[in-house]
Amino acid sequence: MLTPGLVQSRPFLAVLLALSLYACGGGGGGSGAAGEPAPPTAPPQEPAPPVQPLGEAEAVRFLSQATFGPSPASVAEVVDVGLENWFLAELDKPASLHLATVLEGFPDDGQFLDDNGMPLPGLIFLPSNSFWRTAIEADDQLRQRMAFALSQILVVSADSNVGRAPQTLAHYADILTAGAFGNYRDLLEAVTYSPAMAVYLTYLRNEKADPQTGRVPDENYARELLQLFTVGLVALNPDGTPLTDAQGQEAELYDNQDITELAKVFTGLSFAGTAFNAPLRFIPFESFHSPLDTFEAFHSSAAKNFLGTSIPAGTGAADSIDMALDAIFNHPNVGPFIGRQLIQRFVTSAPQPAYVERVAAAFDSGSYALPSGATVGSGQRGDLAATLAAVLFDARARDAAPRQEAGFGKLREPVLRFTHWARAFQVNSADAGNELALRNTSGAEALNQHPYLSPSVFNFYRPGYIAPGTHTGDAGLTAPELQITNATSLVGYPNFLTVYALGLSPKERQGLPAAFVADYSAEVALAADPQALVAHLDARLAHDTLRQATRDRIADLIARLDGSTEQGRDLRARVASVLVMTSPEYIVLR
């Protein structure tokens, strides 16, 4: 049995003890709480009116969905102005971008590769450093959060040749950030012409077919553009459920011939400002972070027929791309296909079909009426601001009743848990340049997730993932984040968080100003009373969702730590924050 003295001298052991207690005694809300059951039919619902007056708990919950984590200042702001006014103000804020910051870290001559064609030391981490700083410190939180969600749909990963050109990755992140509240059609075009996507999905310098050599156009982008970025694999109803025939069979949208034909569209694209096949060392520096150019001599002039669309022979590269993107974007699948994934990223893992239908309707119309009657959106199909408003202000997102359903909610993504910690405890600086642990958090011993570093174009987890051998799996619920939840990551995350909570993160160089130093002063002031400390952390981190049994369990553990000294109370505060942020009620955002 663990004695109080042993726990006092071993804070990590206290965390592990708490985890074992959760595993043995339960924490409530862990089973079957990562998705939402989908009834066969559901009538359309109107968005719920906002709760008046707005309480702190609801503000914390809303910001947990809509940002990289509520901070004390952001909670106070939302309580003061209300959800709608906060949302509308966020839409008007200028974008915090990455490219300029990343370029500041480059040598003056712009050189970024050594004689062997490998990135110079330190440069490859610049986009990651910019992400952490922006996610945690930037004022345009809603935009940054939307850009991160889009990065998990329109995937580009540095775990590829893209990682050799940090400025190219930063340029791509800026495309998603600048386009976060724009039109999805425009975003698809910017993505298509981005060097990052062209390198990642191998259509950079993609050439027209040559019957004499047997060369055919690369099909990677054509395939993923359809399967992952726009329409999916099968025909969908407006509510996102598969469309079936009289025999109950799903209808596939296209076959490989469609992919082969669409691949012709994406030929003749290469770096701007140089020759189509210019050697890497001769490519102008600016070309690595500029939109691609079209080169007609390398573009397929043949007719292109796919998804019932025909592009006539002799159509130029830019016009072919425009016609193809227009046809794909206007397919009826796009609204429910993208809308459902955005619901998963912000609100719930297995959204009710009627919820998907309402969000898809906002995408299709380009307009959404907030509860007050104020309208969001341009009125043009594909408006992402309107779509996001529909996701966050729908009755399923805001009403109290759905939260009580066993199948409602989502696992908080590991990256969002860490940024939430940093924002909740107001770290002195989110400069990750000296933080070894933040350079790659994709290992299971860390967060098992890292921005722009997924193992494949399918992201770290698939939107349709159903976890086998789980309660959610038995219920047929999609629970994407469970795809990276395993025995190693279950321990890796609390260990990673504990290192930061205790101020023990490893540094590359000693003697530099410390970053990621958390402010626990408010918690230390309460730490003499474990129950008061836990109640405070429950409100700040989990919007008052901890069960009483969980509160008591954490308070009992904290009471075993010495609270008679300032140092002891400081340790109580830090360990308690980790225990709350590893509780099932916190991990599952409801």
What does 2-25 look like in DSSP terms, one character per residue? --HHHHHH-HHHHHHHHHHHHHHH
Residues 81-107, mean pLDDT to the nearest whole number: 97
Dig out the tokens for 431 from the structure.
């400069």
Q: How many helices (DSSP H) and strands (DSSP E) are in the chain?
A: 26, 8
Tell whether the model's pLDDT for residue 41 goes beyond 70: no
Give pTM, 2 decimals: 0.91
The per-residue pLDDT for 33 is 40
What sign does the CA torsion over 45, 51, 57, 59 have?
positive
| Gyration radius (Cα) of the chain, Å | 25
pLDDT at 39 (0 to 100) = 40
Give the C-alpha separation, 415 to 429, whole Å.
17
Q: Decide which of 303 and 245 is more confident.
A: 303
The predicted pLDDT at position 388 comes to: 99
Indicate if the pLDDT at residue 447 is higher than 60.
yes
What tokens appear for 479 in the block? Answer: 């629970």
Report whether pLDDT(429) > 80. yes
- pLDDT at 34 > cutoff 60: no
Neighbours of 490 (CB within 10 A): 15
Residue 310: pLDDT band (50, 70, 90) is very high
Residues in the chain: 590
List the alpha helices (DSSP H) in 404-509.
414-424, 471-474, 487-501
User: What does the domain layout of the chain look like in residue ranges?
Assistant: 4-37+408-589, 97-137+156-227+254-329
Position 329 pLDDT exceeds 80: yes
Binned at pLDDT 50, 70 and 90, residue 61 comes out as very high
Per-residue model confidence (pLDDT) at position 50 = 47
Q: Which residue has the tokens 């050697």?
A: 279
pLDDT score for 318: 98
Strand intervals (E) in 332-427:
368-369, 375-376, 410-411
The tokens describing 526, both together, are: 């309460």
Q: Residues 208, 268: contact at Cβ < 8 Å?
A: yes
pLDDT over threshold 90, residue 25? no
Q: What share of the chain is helix, strand, coil (3-state, %, to 5)?
A: 50, 5, 45
Q: Which helix (H) or strand (E) holds 293?
A: strand 293-294
Residue 502: Cβ-neighbour burial (10 angstroms; 0-12, 13-18, 19+): middle
- What percent of the chain stands above pLDDT 90? 87
Residue 267: is its pLDDT beyond 70? yes
From residue 255, give the alpha-carbon distance in Å to each of 203, 206, 222, 228, 229: 20, 21, 12, 15, 17
Residue among 100, 112, 105, 166 nearest 433 (CA): 105
Helix (H, G, I), strand (E, B) or coil at 368: strand
State yes or no: pLDDT of 4 exceeds 50: no
Query: Could you read off the pLDDT of 493-518 as tens digits, one per residue?
Result: 999 999 999 999 999 999 999 999 99
What pLDDT is recorded for position 173? 98
In this prediction, residue 221 has a pLDDT band, given cuts at 50, 70 and 90, of very high
CA angle, 173 then 178 then 181, to 5°: 120
pLDDT of 10: 38
- Which pLDDT belongs to residue 170? 98
- Residue pair 227/153 in contact (Cβ under 8 Å)? The answer is no
| pLDDT for 37 beyond 70 | no
State whether residue 492 is helix, strand or coil: helix
In the prediction, which pLDDT does 109 show?
85
- Rounded to 5 degrees, φ, ψ at 507 are -110, 150
Quote the tokens at residue 245: 């025939």
Look at residue 482 in the predicted model and tell me its pLDDT: 97
Residue 119 three-state SS = strand
pLDDT of residue 117: 79
Q: What is the pLDDT of residues 276-308, one digit of tens each?
A: 999 988 999 999 999 999 999 999 999 999 999
Whether pLDDT at 12 is above 70? no
> In whole angstroms, what is the distance from residue 494 CA to residue 428 CA?
22
Give the other-Cβ count within 10 Å of 376's Cβ. Answer: 23
Does position 485 have pLDDT exceeding 80, yes or no?
A: yes
The pLDDT tens digits for 512-559 are 999 999 999 999 999 999 999 999 999 999 999 999 999 999 999 999
Candidate from 9-23, 330-344, 471-485 with smallest mean pLDDT: 9-23
Q: Are the C-beta atoms of 377 and 264 separated by less than 8 Å?
A: no
Kindly indicate the confidence band of residue 115, based on its pLDDT and cuts at 50, 70 and 90.
Answer: confident
Q: Measure the CA–CA gap between 421 and 492, rounded to whole angstroms.
A: 16
Share of residues in the chain with pLDDT > 70 (%): 91
Average confidence (pLDDT) over 341-351: 98
3: left (phi over 0), alpha (psi -120 to 50) or beta: beta
Angle 277-196-313 from CA coordinates, rounded to 5°: 60
What is the mean pLDDT of the segment spanning 388-403? Answer: 98
Confidence class for position 42, pLDDT limits 50, 70, 90: very low
pLDDT-derived band at 52 (thresholds 50, 70, 90) equals: low
Residue 2 predicted with pLDDT over 60: no
* CA–CA distance, 351 with 239 (Å, rounded to integer): 10
Q: How far is CA 104 from CA 28, 99, 123, 258, 452, in A?
A: 48, 9, 10, 44, 20
Phi/psi of residue 119, nearest 5 degrees: -60, 145
Q: Are 411 and 482 in contact (CB under 8 A)?
A: yes
User: Who's near 27: CB < 8 A, 6+ residues apart?
Assistant: 547, 549, 550, 553, 583, 584, 585
Q: What is the mean pLDDT of residues 461-474?
A: 96
> What pLDDT does residue 19 have?
38
User: Is 461 within 8 Å of 480 (Cβ atoms)?
Assistant: yes
Average pLDDT over residues 28-42: 39
Q: If you average pLDDT over every residue of the chain, what do you get?
A: 92
Residues 184 and 176: their CA atoms lie apart, in Å, by: 10
For residue 3, what pLDDT band results from cuts at 50, 70 and 90? very low
